[in-house]
Structure formats: structure tokens, C-alpha cells
A and B are shown apart, each in its own frame.
Chain A
Amino acid sequence: MKLYEIAHSRAGDKGNTLTLSLIPYNESDYSILCSTITAEIVKKHLSAIVSGEIIRYELPNIHSLLFVCQHALLGGVTTSLAIDTHGKTLSYALLEMEI
């Protein structure tokens, strides 16, 4: 099963940093996501995309996780040669993860 089945995500950018939220459809799945979707696992999954550090933040009040990924946008929105300079599509790269 893909992460896509149980959670949704939105990508954001600040310079060369990518942010990816991870939000379970069922709030009761939050604790499972906390224990299984670690920063290390996301770093491995996104190894072709993110070359820098990934920090994970937990937001228990809203049952959501946030991954902040450095060096992820080929230089960032203003000077990247990529098609998707913002990395707006990358939420769906995270949700490709097999769980």
C-alpha cells in the first residue's frame, strides 16, 4: 500500500528548502505515522530529490507531521532549471512511499 491511501500532503517552498506536510485522513492514524514515517525513512525515500538534511516536526494538536527538507529544489524557485521550480508537485512524491 502507498502512503497516498492513508494520508494527504501539501508541498511548500522557501528558497532551496522544501516543506511537506503529512496528514492522515483518520486522526487515529497519527500515532502510527509518528512511529513509522521517520525523518530517516523519508530521507531514504526522497534520496533522488533531497540532498540536504530532513527535520520532522510533530503537531499533535492537529494530528499532523511536517518534514522540512533542505537542498531539495536544485537551487530554489528563482534559479532552478527544473520544470517544477517550486517543487509544488513533490507532495505526491512523498505519498508514493510504500508502507
Chain B
Amino acid sequence: MAMKQKIRIGCGAGFSGDRLEPAIVLAEKGELDYLILECLAERTIALAQKRKLQDPTKGYDPLLERRIESLLPLLIQNNIRLITNMGAANPIAGAQKILEIAQKQGLSIKVGAVYGDDVFENVSPETLAIETNEPLSKSGELISANAYLGVEGILSALQADAQIIITGRVADPSLFLAPMIHEFSWTTNDYDLMGKGTVIGHLLECAGHITGGYFADPIKKPVENMDKLGHPFADVFEDGSAIISKVEGTGGVVNLQTAKEQLLYEVINPHEYYTPDVIADFTTVYLKEIGEDQIQVTGGTGKAKPPTYKVSVGYKAFYLGEGEIAYAGASALDRAQLAGEIIEKRLKPQFPELRIDYIGSSAIHRTNFGNTSIPYEIRLRVAGKASNSSDAALIGEEVEALYTNGPAGGGGVRKYVTEVIGIVSILLDRKDIQPKVQLFEC
């Protein structure tokens, strides 16, 4: 196989619930070599694990069927390889589902499932969590433990000619780095190249984040045609530089501002960005606007990968009870505050961890920096922790009772009960974790 000098990698989803259409546009018109769908947030796997426990054929991403049904014919027609972490808690069942969809559509496909991230059986409840410095068992009943894998499993699947690769937990940038290593025959201990590829992956992994999503501000940062927001692709070169752009005719913008915001997004230390493949240095990156919707990325360096894998452990934390009620017109804030005081007196004895927010005044930032303008309308929100769902329901019920037992003119009550899954982390030695690949074909 002749080595390529350039590959084009698109990112068509940046979280589990992301829009479906931009990936279709990328597959249709993007002239891609690879399409990546990044669909796993911190807690997504723990929730998927719960679905798998109820039904062993589930536990992959709930949107998998819809995404694959619309994308599969385009992937085959345009010879695009798909890499996605939509396997969530059950990559094998996800791969089987993809095969089933292909058979229904009369298409032939080779799918690689990457797993080995699920280390729930190997994790001792006595291990100290990084965040709490206490044994995991103290956090609550444990329900999942998944290691952030690197490129290894994906590379094996690429070498085995899988056109679709579906993984469980993999570090987001690794989904992008793997095809670069594969196509350019990079060695995985060339840490500067691993760093460069990781930078490109990080810039792409949140999809719309670099094309104007989570960015647009009509006053200071106007973005056109947000309703048709395109998702990004990168032309990656064998030296580890790249040009990031989007499909012509889509909405949004790729410029220096969107790229800078995304480069620093969720970065805890820009000198040392940890992934299972490399410790990358983002401070050595240069960004340059070289055309309309075209950002050139150069630089980026790295040093040897960490000796451990990070493992996210999901646990049953508590039940969240919430209730909301609205007040509007004269004395809206005063009436909402009176309602808040009443609720606090009624609920605090039973719910010591109670939060009272005044939406429209100081709820979102938990302060308003002394802004004393009087809002026309206010929504009171009450939230509290409970150990079971029937206790949690009492919070919304008490807010609802404000209709007839609270201040004048309260309306629009909504109440919610949510089971909350918490996440803590531990580190596991590399030798304790074996990435694995299983191939499926039809």
C-alpha cells in the first residue's frame, strides 16, 4: 500500500446527543477518508452500563441505530472509514447491531469492536479515589469502571481492514490519532508526532465547538447560518501539521477565535495534556488563518506517555429532587424570595443539602456581581439530595403546594426526580489492562 501524504478526517458528533445531520453532510460532501463520531461524556458509560444490566444486547449508544442507518450507505459509496466510541458499555453488541443494519440494507461491511476498557471486575472497592482520597466503596454502590484506552485497539482494527471501528471508552483524541499513525506509519514512541496528532484530535473532538458552536455571540462574535452549522474536518499531513475547515455551504465559521477557544477547552495544564498515548504540550502550538474557514495548525510537541491508565468509576450517588415555580410582575423577586424562605423552613430539616435558586437573578452564576436591576419575572428553583426516589419527590411536591400555601401569583410548577450517577477516578497500571479487538463481517 502506498503511503499517503495527506488524509482528511471529519468529526460528525461531539457528544452522545449531538445533531445527526452534520455527519451526513460530511459523509456526503466532505471527501473524507475518515469520519469520527465522539459520543461519550464522563458519565455516559455508567448510564449505558445500567441499560446493559437490564438487557445484555443493549448498552451501546441509544442513537447508534439512527446514526448508522443514515450513514452506512454513504460510508460505503464514498469509501470512508468510521471510528466511533458509540460502543459505550457494550461495543460487541454495538458491532452486531451495525452488522444487522448492513444486512438489512444489503451491504457488505467489516466491523471491528474494540474493548477491554471495562475493568469493573478488576477494581477493588478499597482503591483510593483520586478526587476524594477515600476508598471507592465510600462513594456509593459501584456500577461501572472503564479505562480510557489509547490508540492500540483501534490500530489493530485498522490493520485488519475494518471499515467501521466501534469502541468503548477511549480517550477522545486517540480516535483521531489512530488513523494518522496508521496512514503515515508513524511510530507510537515518536512523542512529538503523537503530541501533534493529539492537538489535532483535541481541536476536532467536540465537532461544532470549532465551527461556531458554543462560541456565537450576536454582539461580539456573530456567526452566520447557525441553523445549518457544519461540523469540521482536518486535512492532516504526514509531518503532523493540519488545516482545519468545514464543508462549503454549511453554516458556522472556522477562524482563529474558534480554534483558540477550542485548543484551551477543558485543558487543566497546557504544558502537560495527558492521554494514554502521550503527554502533549499545547503551548508549542501555532494557529494561522490561511483562508476563509481555514486554520492551519503547526507545532505541538509531546513526551512519553504515562505509565498508568485513567479509569472512570461510576457509582450510585443520590436521588435529585427538584421543583420550580414562577412569579412575574410587581414584587416578583420579593414573592419568589418569600417562597424560598418558606420552602427552606419546610424542607431543610429533612434535606440538609438543599439549594434554592432565583432564576432570572442569581441562579446560573450563583452571584450577579452586584447587578441590582429588578427583573420582571423570576423562577424559583429548589433542588435537594435524597437517598431514595420517594423522598426526592417530596421536594417537588412541597414546591407544588406553594400554589395554595405560598405567596400570591405563583404558577407554572414543574417537578423532577432524577437518579444521579457520580464519577470518581483511579489509576491502573498498564499491565492490568489489555485492549482487545473482535471482527465481524457480512
Give residues in A with beta carbon < 8 Å to B: 4-5, 8-10, 12-17, 19, 21, 23, 25, 48-49, 57, 59, 61-64, 66, 68, 74, 76-79, 81-84, 88-90, 92-93, 96
In the complex, what's the smallest C-beta–C-beta distance from A85 to chain B, in angstroms?
10
Q: Of the candidates A4, A8, A81, A84, which one forms a contact with B364 in the assembled complex, judged by CB atoms under 8 Å apart? A: A84
Report whether B270 and A59 are in contact in the complex, using a CB–CB cutoff of 8 Å. yes
Report whether A61 and B285 are in contact in the complex, using a CB–CB cutoff of 8 Å. yes
In the complex, what's the smallest C-beta–C-beta distance from B399 to chain A, in angstroms?
15
Given contacts A19-B265, A21-B264, contact A59 B282 (CB under 8 A): yes
In the complex, what's the smallest C-beta–C-beta distance from B313 to chain A, in angstroms?
11
In the complex, what's the smallest C-beta–C-beta distance from A68 to chain B, in angstroms?
6
Stretch from B25-33, B151-159, B230-238, B378-386 forming part of the interface with A:
B378-386
In the complex, what's the smallest C-beta–C-beta distance from B75 to chain A, in angstroms?
31
Cβ proximity bits B233-263 to A, threshold 8 Å, 1 near / 0 not: 0000000000000000000000001001111
Residue B131 CB within 8 A of the other chain = yes
The residue in chain A whose Cβ has the minimal distance to the Cβ of B131 is A15
Main secondary structure of the interface of A (DSSP, over half): mixed
The residue in chain A whose Cβ has the minimal distance to the Cβ of B262 is A10
Q: Of the candidates B221, B353, B422, which one forms a contact with A81 in the assembled complex, judged by CB atoms under 8 Å apart? A: B353
The residue in chain B whose Cβ has the minimal distance to the Cβ of A70 is B268
Contacts A10-B264, A21-B260, A96-B369 known; 8 new A-B pairs at CB < 8 A: A23-B261, A48-B365, A61-B284, A64-B260, A66-B267, A66-B270, A78-B420, A83-B381
Report whether B285 and A62 are in contact in the complex, using a CB–CB cutoff of 8 Å. yes
The residue in chain B whose Cβ has the minimal distance to the Cβ of A59 is B283
Contacts of B260 in A (CB 8 A): 21, 23, 62-64
Residue B229 CB within 8 A of the other chain = no
In the complex, what's the smallest C-beta–C-beta distance from B212 to chain A, in angstroms?
12
Cβ proximity bits B397-439 to A, threshold 8 Å, 1 near / 0 not: 0000000000000000000000011110100000000000000
- A-B contact count, CB below 8 Å? 111
Given contacts A90-B365, A96-B369, contact A77 B42 (CB under 8 A): yes
* Interchain CA distance A64-B270 in the complex, whole Å: 11
Contacts of B346 in A (CB 8 A): none
* Interchain CA distance A96-B365 in the complex, whole Å: 11
Contacts of B363 in A (CB 8 A): 83
Report whether A81 and B423 are in contact in the complex, using a CB–CB cutoff of 8 Å. no
Residue B359 CB within 8 A of the other chain = yes
Report whether B267 and A19 are in contact in the complex, using a CB–CB cutoff of 8 Å. yes
What are 28 A-B pairs at a CB distance below 8 A? A5-B220, A8-B257, A10-B262, A12-B264, A12-B265, A12-B267, A14-B266, A19-B268, A25-B220, A49-B366, A57-B270, A59-B282, A59-B283, A61-B283, A61-B299, A68-B268, A68-B269, A78-B43, A78-B423, A79-B318, A82-B366, A83-B381, A88-B214, A89-B364, A89-B365, A90-B365, A93-B367, A93-B369
